[in-house]
């Protein structure tokens, strides 16, 4: 009996050690994503702008999409594309647009993935230094205003 227990323990120990060594990754919880999206919509609404706000996970999959009443139909694709771009490339879309504009040899970035939208209004979502997603706002009169509303969303959840 003791031999059986010892043999089982010896055989199962490598599996237990392996399970303990599985990597973990930070992620953006749905509740935080929803809070950020609501704060961004509210910030733009307070200024009289009807926008859509998308929050995507690090994988680029949409977690939350809010469309304000009377927001244009194009704002859904715009906000989702900006969020995807920021999550995928880990940078703000306004900075990316400037990077491409000032370096013509980087123009191919625009064609890298059809989901990329390289216009101001997208920001990466970082929590504790880890990239966990992206936020995109579309529909305000300028990308700078879209970005300001996106920043309000990040501030609402304490993201960087």
d(C-alpha 41, C-alpha 126), whole Å: 20
What was the pLDDT predicted at 139? Answer: 98
* CA atoms 118, 120, 124, 125: torsion sign: negative
Query: Could you tell me the CATH superfamily of domain 30-156?
Result: Haem-degrading domain (3.30.450.150)
pLDDT in tens, 8-44: 556 555 555 555 788 899 999 999 999 999 999 999 9
What was the pLDDT predicted at 96? Answer: 96
What residues does 57 pair with on adjacent strands?
133
What was the pLDDT predicted at 120? Answer: 98
What was the pLDDT predicted at 19? Answer: 58
What residues does 127 pair with on adjacent strands?
130
Say if residues 55 and 137 touch (Cβ distance below 8 Å).
no
Average pLDDT over residues 42-62: 98
In this model, does residue 138 exceed pLDDT 60? yes
What was the pLDDT predicted at 1? Answer: 57
Pick the range with the lowest mean pLDDT from 58-67, 70-79, 95-104, 150-159: 95-104
Reduced to 3 states (helix: H, G, I; strand: E, B; else coil), residue 129 is coil
What was the pLDDT predicted at 10? Answer: 60
Say if residues 52 and 79 touch (Cβ distance below 8 Å).
yes
The C-alpha angle with vertex 137 and arms to 42 and 58, in degrees rounded to 5, equals: 110
* HSE toward the beta carbon, residue 133, CA cutoff 13 A: 27
What was the pLDDT predicted at 22? Answer: 87
- Between β-strands 62-67 and 122-127, what pairing exists: parallel, antiparallel or unpaired? unpaired
Give the model's confidence band at 89: pLDDT under 50 very low, under 70 low, under 90 confident, else very high.
Answer: very high
C-alpha R_g of the chain: 21
Average pLDDT over residues 54-82: 98
Q: Rounded to the nearest 5°, which phi and psi values hold at 138?
A: -140, 140
Higher pLDDT, 1 or 81: 81
Cα–chain-centroid distance for residue 144? 18
Task: For residue 100, give the H/E element and its range.
Answer: helix 93-102
């Amino acid at each position: 009996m003791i031999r059986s227990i010892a043999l089982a323990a010896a055989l199962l120990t490598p599996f237990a050690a392996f399970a303990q060594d599985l990597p973990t990754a930070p992620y953006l919880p749905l509740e935080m994503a929803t809070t950020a999206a609501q704060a961004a919509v509210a910030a733009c609404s307070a200024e009289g702008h009807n926008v859509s706000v998308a929050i995507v996970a690090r994988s680029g999959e949409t977690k939350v999409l809010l469309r304000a009443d009377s927001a244009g139909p194009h704002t859904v694709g715009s906000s989702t594309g900006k969020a995807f771009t920021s999550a995928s490339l880990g940078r703000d879309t306004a900075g990316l647009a400037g990077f491409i504009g000032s370096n013509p040899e980087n123009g191919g970035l625009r064609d890298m993935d059809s989901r990329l939208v390289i216009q101001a209004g997208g920001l990466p979502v970082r929590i504790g230094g880890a990239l966990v997603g992206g936020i995109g706002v579309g529909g305000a009169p300028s990308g700078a205003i879209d970005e300001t509303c996106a920043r309000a969303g990040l501030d609402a959840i304490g993201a960087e």
